[in-house]
Amino acid sequence: MLDLVFKLILVMHIIGSFWYFVCKTDRIWIPPLDFVYAAQYPKIYRSWSEDYTDSYRYLVNLYNAVLFLGGNEMGPRTNTEIFVCTLILMVLAIFNAALFGEMAVLTEQTGRKQQDF
C-alpha cells in the first residue's frame, strides 16, 4: 500500500510541476478554483500575483494535479495548454486505471489470506 501511495504522490508532484512550467510562460491560465474571479482577471488572479509565495503556487498546482487525476475540466486557454492538458488527461486516465487495478489485486490477495487463516 505504501508503494501505491508513494507512486500517487510522486505522479501528483510531477504533473503539478509540469503544468506550472507550461502555464507560467503565458500567465493567462486561470485555475478552476479561480474561475469565479475570471471577470476580474488582471486585478484578482491569485496564482500569478506577486503577493503569493512559491509554497502557495505549489499547493495550487498540486490541487490541479489532483483534478487532472480525476479527469476534471482544467480550462486551458492557449493551444499549447490544450495539447498538454489533453496529453496529461490521457496519461493520467491510464495511470488511474492501473492504480485501481493494483488496488483490486491487493484487496483480492488480502481476502485470500484471511480465508486461509
Answer whether 7's CB lies under 8 Å from 99's CB. Answer: yes
Mean per-residue pLDDT, 65-85: 85
pLDDT of residue 116 exceeding 80, the answer is no
Burial 13-35 (b: 16+ CB within 10 A, else e): eebbeebbebbeeeeebbbeebe
Domain positions in the chain are: 2-116
* Residue 83 pLDDT class (50, 70, 90 cuts): very high
Q: In sequence order, which residues have a C-beta less than 8 Å from that of residue 44 and are 6 or more positions away?
A: 34, 37
Distance CA 41, CA 49 (A): 11
Look at residue 94 in the predicted model and tell me its pLDDT. Answer: 92
* Residue 105 pLDDT class (50, 70, 90 cuts): confident
Express as a percent the part of the chain with pLDDT over 90. 9
Residues 9-59 have pLDDT tens digits of: 999 999 988 888 888 777 777 777 776 666 665 555 555 666 677 788 888
Eight-class DSSP state of 34: G
Angle between helices 79-116 and 54-70 (to 10 degrees): 70
pLDDT of residue 74 exceeding 60, the answer is yes
Our measurement of the distance from residue 95's CA atom to the centroid of its chain's CA atoms, rounded to an integer in Å, reads 12
DSSP 48-86: T-TTS-HHHHHHHHHHHHHHHHHT------SHHHHHHHH
Look at residue 109 in the predicted model and tell me its pLDDT. Answer: 83
